[in-house]
Amino acid sequence: MKTRKTEPRDGGREGQAFTLIELLVVIAIIGIIASMIVGLSGLAARKKHDAVVTAMKNRLVLFISSYHSKMGFFPPDNAANFNNLVGSTNYEQSTGMSSLLYELTGAPMTNGSSFVPFDGSPPILGSVFSNYCGRGGIANSLPDEIHVFYQPLPGSNDYVTVTVNGLNLKQLAVPVPLTGVPVNLWHYDCSNPNRHNSSGFDIWAEYSAGTDKSGNPIIITNGNWNLQ
């Protein structure tokens, strides 16, 4: 007597269900791998940004230290730094606006009231520096004794032109952007009694490093009080 082979009543749905489970597992694994790749790429970008900013910071520390050794004082900062509360909005603004770039590159005085920038652009009136940072001009400006501490001279990616009240002044730019800030500038302070380096100077940059798990922006502060 022949035995009749019976087929599953569901028309093979058990096999299809198993295949669907396999597909879902594969999709889940792909998702995990993709998230790991995104995380690793974000970490790599963060490390690259840290390295670029740290390299520029260390160069600025060297230039400022050389200035101090030669001139006997640190490059003048924004006069408002002294009275502003460290960490306040006013302090962030004042430390980001200084004549540091001109001090490190030298700006010879001409006509008794103007200073010649390093890039050959038109002379800048002392009143411009006064309006920007409360200083009447550049200390490193004696025509017969100009010292160029910024070596080699800054390239176009090292600074930006900032316009305030119709006045233009070049400022040192951080090579990594800061979310919500159109122009990201280096911060410099050598006069506030509450600065980190009380017997020296503070130079630091703030920049974005993605977001945390809650979607909040991660802001990095890279300063010379914690040299890397």
Asked whether residue 168 is assigned to any structural domain, the reply reads yes
Average pLDDT estimate for 178-182: 90
Asked whether residue 214 is assigned to any structural domain, the reply reads yes
Q: What is the predicted pLDDT for the residue at 129?
A: 93
Average pLDDT estimate for 74-93: 96
Cα separation, 62 vs 201, in Å, equals 12
Alpha-carbon torsion 199, 203, 209, 212, what sign? positive
Q: For the segment 90-138, what is each residue's pLDDT rounded down to a tens digit?
A: 999 999 999 999 999 999 999 888 999 999 889 999 999 999 899 989 9
Asked whether residue 96 is assigned to any structural domain, the reply reads yes
Average pLDDT estimate for 135-162: 93
Are the C-beta atoms of residues 127 and 219 closer than 8 Å to each other?
no
Asked whether residue 147 is assigned to any structural domain, the reply reads yes
Domain span holding position 169: 34-226
Are the C-beta atoms of residues 86 and 194 closer than 8 Å to each other?
yes
Asked whether residue 2 is assigned to any structural domain, the reply reads no
Mean pLDDT value across the chain: 86
Asked whether residue 195 is assigned to any structural domain, the reply reads yes
Beta-sheet pairing, 202-211 with 217-223: antiparallel
Asked whether residue 15 is assigned to any structural domain, the reply reads no
Q: What is the predicted pLDDT for the residue at 130?
A: 92
- Specify the number of domains making up the chain: 1
The answer to which of 27-41, 42-56, 184-198 has the lowest mean pLDDT is 27-41
Helix (H) or strand (E) holding 106: none
Report residue 56 as tokens: 């520029």
Cα separation, 177 vs 121, in Å, equals 26
Asked whether residue 50 is assigned to any structural domain, the reply reads yes
Cα separation, 74 vs 59, in Å, equals 15
Are the C-beta atoms of residues 175 and 53 closer than 8 Å to each other?
yes
Output the CA angle 121-106-128, nearest 5 degrees.
60
